[in-house]
Chains A and B, each alone.
Chain A
């Protein structure tokens, strides 16, 4: 089984809808991250969490919110999706902030 899983893998939605992307990990890491990737660009950090009670905004948090339900689960919500949030979303985990382990990604399309 994969260490970091993301659901759904693909999602098409309409402008204004609320969307939740979920991430689960079995690595036992405290730190979890959400990134987005746009075509031809690098990854940009949306939110990160050092533990269940610690949530921090990243570079591009506007329009997004997160919830850390447990050490192993970190979900990302788009409160009211808009077309420029169409992107590839990745969850990642790390133990101490060095090596990060990525999930397979969720391809989100907002029409």
Chain B
């Protein structure tokens, strides 16, 4: 398994703005997942993008994947206070393990 590195470590925006966070990884992957963690709670799966996909949408979420740059981005549009959380990426190489980085801590100010 390999660890993704999220960037920035922290992000603070106003409600209604868009939030973009990035993930970089080092080796080839089969897929990449994004998870959200509200303070002190379990991680919640948001979206999975496969290596042969370039973009995927789910509600207000848009994920892109650039395998040539070994990077992914998560865009949350029209952010809400309830989006305040930490966001983790998890590159998957077909193994059983997911390795989580330190995450991006998003604060959405009402």
Give A contacts to B, CB under 8 Å.
Answer: 4, 31, 40-43, 45, 48, 50, 58, 88, 90, 92, 94, 97-105, 107
Contact flag A42-B97 (CB < 8 Å), given A90-B42, A104-B42: no
Stretch of B13-21, B57-65, B67-75, B98-106 on the interface side: B98-106
Q: How far is the CB of B5 from chain A (nearest CB, A)?
A: 10
Give B contacts to A, CB under 8 Å.
Answer: 3, 31, 33, 40-45, 48, 88, 92, 94-103
Q: Which chain A residues border B95 with CB–CB below 8 Å?
A: 97
Q: Is the CB of A105 within 8 A of B103?
A: no
Q: Is the CB of B96 within 8 A of A105?
A: no
Q: Which chain A residues border B31 with CB–CB below 8 Å?
A: 98
Q: Is the CB of A102 within 8 A of B97?
A: no
* Partner of A40 from B40, B41, B102 at Cβ < 8 Å: B102
* Partner of B43 from A31, A58, A102, A107 at Cβ < 8 Å: A102
Given contacts A98-B31, A100-B43, 16 further A-B contacts (CB under 8 A): A4-B42, A40-B102, A42-B88, A48-B96, A48-B97, A92-B43, A97-B92, A97-B96, A98-B48, A98-B92, A99-B48, A100-B45, A102-B43, A102-B44, A104-B41, A105-B40
Q: Which chain A residues border B98 with CB–CB below 8 Å?
A: 100
Q: Which chain A residues border B102 with CB–CB below 8 Å?
A: 40-42
How many angstroms from the CA of A50 to the CA of B97 in the assembled complex?
A: 11
Contact flag A43-B96 (CB < 8 Å), given A99-B33, A99-B48: no
Q: Which chain B residues border A104 with CB–CB below 8 Å?
A: 41-42
Please give me the residue from chain B that is nearest to A91 by CB atom: B42
How many angstroms from the CA of A100 to the CA of B102 in the assembled complex?
A: 18
Q: Is the CB of A102 within 8 A of B42?
A: yes
